[in-house]
Amino acid sequence: MKSEVTIAGDRILNTTNIIYGLIFLFLILRPKDSYLITGVVIAVLYIPFSMGTCYFTINADKLIVNTYALPFYKIQYPLEYVKNIVIDSPPYKSPYISIACLQIINIENDRSSFYGASSLKKRHWNKLIEELQQRQIKVSVEASSLLKG
């Protein structure tokens, strides 16, 4: 077992980045007198879309949730406090979401937010599940997209 593993998928060519690019192109091709409106629209859309751009790092004692769209956003969960990991279908419907989301349940049965990862494909989710199970963490897979053959 490796001491640190990062499951990130394709952080450049994924649906979230394609949508970012289309929005950016549309907004910069607007009339030049609307820079303020363009900036506000980009800022308002960027943060919600960024929450679907997570990737995960597992080391000897922590599970770290990062997002490549907001590099300063990082949440660390000590593995000794993780009771269960639930990998479920996304709770929201949108074209940019990932095929699954990760939710952490700690030893006090508190649940984290759902962490979507639009850069992860089925093989990346399976690698993440394998890495978590090797570290003796219970993983419940409920995402229908990962249960299919």
3-state secondary structure 102-122: EEEEECCCCECCCEEECCCCH
**Alpha-carbon distances of 132 from 6, 58, 115, 146, rounded to whole Å:** 12, 8, 16, 16
The pair phi, psi for residue 55, each rounded to 5°, is -140, 165
Radius of gyration in angstroms for the set of CA atoms belonging to the chain, rounded to a whole number: 17
**Alpha-carbon distances of 93 from 87, 89, 116, 134, rounded to whole Å:** 16, 10, 12, 32
Of 82, 85, 86, 87, residue with least CA distance to 106: 82
pTM comes to 0.79
Structure confidence at residue 138 (pLDDT): 95
HSE (side-chain half, CA atoms, 13 Å) at 10:
11
CA pair distance 58, 133, nearest whole angstrom: 11
Q: What is the pLDDT of residues 93-116, one digit of tens each?
A: 655 567 888 999 998 989 888 888
Of 146, 142, 123, 126, residue with least CA distance to 134: 126
Structure confidence at residue 90 (pLDDT): 79
Which residues in the chain land under pLDDT 70? Answer: 1-2, 11-16, 31-34, 92-97, 148-149
Of 59, 139, 52, 138, residue with least CA distance to 100: 52
